[in-house]
Amino acid sequence: MKSFYITTAIDYVNGSPHLGHAYEKVLTDVIARFRRMMGDRVHFLTGVDEHGQKVQASARKRGIAPQQYVDEISAEFRALLPRLNISNDDFIRTTEERHKKVVREVLQRLFAQGEIYKAEYKGFYSTRQEQFLQEKDRLPGGAWPEIFGEVTEITESNYFFKLRGYQDWLIEFLTKHEHFIFPSYRQKQVLEFLKEPLNDLCISRPRERLEWGIPLPFDEGYVTYVWFDALLNYYSAVADQPGVWPAAWHVIGKDILVPPHAVYWPIMLHAAGIPLPHGIIAHGWWLQSGAKMSKSTGNALNPLDLVAEFGVDAFRYFLIREMNVGQDSEFTREQFLVRYNSELANNLGNLVNRTLNMTTRFAGGVLPSAELSEEPEQELHALWAKTRDEFIPLCEGFQFHTALERAMQFVTATNAYIEKRAPWKLGKSAEPRDQALLRTSLATMAEALRLGVALIQHVTPATTAKINDVLGYVPGDAWRDELHWGQKLDGASVAAALVLFPRPAPAVPPKG
Ligand code: MSP
């Protein structure tokens, strides 16, 4: 069995989770479930980033101790996971001892190897981004870009990690491992970034300025820079589990690719003598009116509102169907409703209703066998073979939006097949050929439905399970064996009805 370790970024707990955080969990879950369906031994980690200035500031604002604050908000992030049907195996908090222990060990090792030195630093610091700025970060007019928030000039002694010495190694590594970062155009951007000389990385913050962090093992007067601490979660969570590291894939947003994940992380691991992960998947942003959805801009949507209104699978389906992994997508309620109505309710929901309804009406609720195979059946079989063969490589290449589009095209074609065969007409005829065609069309639509929902199982697991259930079908363990057109439902007793995607309540009309 192939080992497949997949992680999400760990969220800052300085506010409630929003749709962007939910998307990353759902995308990672879809990949994890797909790899399990393909037979891999999957380990799926998610968690929270609990240290640092932002968290300390948020706790102060509330007038409570940081630990109490992170306990509260982390519980909120954790509670989101079952609501989104996320199949994670582990959840890490960076305040846990298992994590702090590994951070101390790695720091101590790098310090002992002479990779970390102390120096005085004078310059500009962004609290919001928790990073030191350089002259080249300024806008043409001299001001600091919005994203840095308040910028202050400071002078202090700190510890630095010798990043610069590894620049050539990293360039060579990325040149050799062309597919380290997905999408590949992002890898090119990293190589562009590496054309400028790297600065060594400041990995400490003096205790007087920041209390809330992991103390440096070699100098208690300092805490560890939050990114150096946070990145290590991917490794600390599995350090004592044999066979997991380094078969790792990190799913992150494009904003935290360069420099943390694409530069600091590989260099930290390489310098510490730890093998590198397999790759990084950098997704785009959910936007509202063109701007990144975020806590600080106040344009964030609560994912749980959408789940409450439309159900978890409709929510998951929309996120995965709408977003091309790597690119940005605008979130609008209108577009959500378009896909909900046309793809889920009217297409898939309709096929389920017709199958159950007609099998009940014309066959006493027991699925008959297909007896004939004429042009309409053969066309559908051929489309199935093509859909299935293209589907797996699309998912392997993270092209889930296209994979779902193909699966839905197959569902559309099955509905068109039903129109062509018109079982409601055949049911009125006593002719033996019409009766054989009726049985064939019932068997064909049910088998096509079973196959169609097997394809979307990683995206809509609860819906697939419900549909299998009403079809009286228990799938086998090997997902790929389920994908053969195989009359698997002959003689199955189906339920009379299933409401999957009810019509949403009409939006409240604007006042006035
Ligand atoms: N704590 C760091 C990550 C450390 S990983 C070792 C962090 N946290 S975050 O809470 O700001 O973001 C967590 C993840 O959510 C990131 O991958 C980020 O890209 C993602 N998203 C936050 N807003 C987003 C959107 N509007 N759209 C999609 N994902 C975005 O960064």
Q: Give 249's Cβ-side CA count (13 Å radius).
A: 22
Is a pLDDT exceeding 90 seen at residue 505?
A: no
492's tokens: 């199955």
Q: Which of 402, 386, 499, 506 is nearest to 451 (CA)?
A: 386
- 92, 10 in Cβ contact below 8 A? yes
Distance 253 CA to ligand 1 centre (A): 6
Mean pLDDT of 348-364: 98
Q: pLDDT of 21-54, one tens digit each?
A: 999 999 999 999 999 999 999 999 999 999 998 8
Q: How far apart are CA 194 and CA 258, in angstroms?
A: 10
pLDDT at residue 507 in the model:
60
Is a pLDDT exceeding 70 seen at residue 508?
A: no
Confirm or reject: Cβ of 228 under 6 Å from ligand 1: no
pLDDT at residue 512 in the model:
47
Mean pLDDT of 210-226: 97
Mean pLDDT of 200-206: 96
Which residue is closest in CA terms to ligand 1's atom 22? Answer: 20
Distance 7 CA to ligand 1 centre (A): 13
The two beta strands, 11-12 and 116-126, are unpaired
Mean pLDDT of 351-375: 98
Closest-lying ligand 1 atom to the alpha carbon of residue 233:
6
Q: How far apart are CA 74 and CA 12, in angstroms?
A: 9
Confirm or reject: Cβ of 255 under 6 Å from ligand 1: yes
Distance 71 CA to ligand 1 centre (A): 19
- 456, 404 in Cβ contact below 8 A? yes
pLDDT at residue 46 in the model:
98
pLDDT level of residue 210 (50, 70, 90 thresholds) = very high
* Per-residue b or e along 275-288, where b marks 16 or more CB atoms closer than 10 Å to that residue's CB: ebbbebbbbbbbbb
Q: Which of 100, 130, 147 is nearest to 204 (CA)?
A: 130
Confirm or reject: Cβ of 292 under 6 Å from ligand 1: yes
Measured torsion, CA atoms of residues 386, 391, 392, 393, in degrees rounded to the nearest 10 = 90
pLDDT level of residue 121 (50, 70, 90 thresholds) = confident
pLDDT at residue 511 in the model:
56
Q: pLDDT of 372-426, one tens digit each?
A: 999 999 999 999 999 999 999 999 999 999 999 999 999 999 999 999 999 999 9
Confirm or reject: Cβ of 9 under 6 Å from ligand 1: yes
With tokens 């299998």, the residue in question is: 468
Q: pLDDT of 329-340, one tens digit each?
A: 999 999 999 999
pLDDT at residue 372 in the model:
97
* Per-residue b or e along 65-94, where b marks 16 or more CB atoms closer than 10 Å to that residue's CB: ebeebbeebbeebbebbeebbbbbeebbbb
The two beta strands, 131-133 and 116-126, are antiparallel
With tokens 């205790």, the residue in question is: 207
pLDDT level of residue 68 (50, 70, 90 thresholds) = very high
pLDDT at residue 179 in the model:
97
Confirm or reject: Cβ of 50 under 6 Å from ligand 1: no
Confirm or reject: Cβ of 167 under 6 Å from ligand 1: no
With tokens 């799913």, the residue in question is: 251
With tokens 């994908």, the residue in question is: 483
E strands, 164-226, are 181-182, 201-202, 204-206, 215-216, 219-224
pLDDT level of residue 130 (50, 70, 90 thresholds) = confident
pLDDT level of residue 459 (50, 70, 90 thresholds) = very high
243's tokens: 């066979």
pLDDT at residue 208 in the model:
92
Q: How far apart are CA 462 and CA 453, in angstroms?
A: 11
39's tokens: 């037979």
Record the pTM: 0.96
**Residue to substitute in 49, 186, 249, 295 for testing ligand 1 pocket (most ligand atoms within 8 angstroms of CB):** 49
Looking at the DSSP bridge assignments, the partners of residue 286 are 329
Domains and CATH numbers, the chain: 3-310 (3.40.50.620), 332-483 (1.10.730.10)
Burial of 101 (0-12, 13-18, 19+ CB in 10 A): middle
Higher pLDDT, 462 or 509: 462
Q: How far apart are CA 274 and CA 267, in angstroms?
A: 10
Confirm or reject: Cβ of 11 under 6 Å from ligand 1: yes
Is a pLDDT exceeding 70 seen at residue 235?
A: yes
pLDDT at residue 28 in the model:
98
Q: Which helix (H) or strand (E) holds 279?
A: strand 279-283
Please state, rounded to an integer, the average pLDDT across all residues of the chain: 96
Confirm or reject: Cβ of 285 under 6 Å from ligand 1: yes
Mean pLDDT of 293-300: 86
Number of H helices and E strands in the chain, helices first, is 18, 17
Percent helix, strand, coil in the chain (nearest 5)? Answer: 50, 15, 35
Distance 243 CA to ligand 1 centre (A): 28
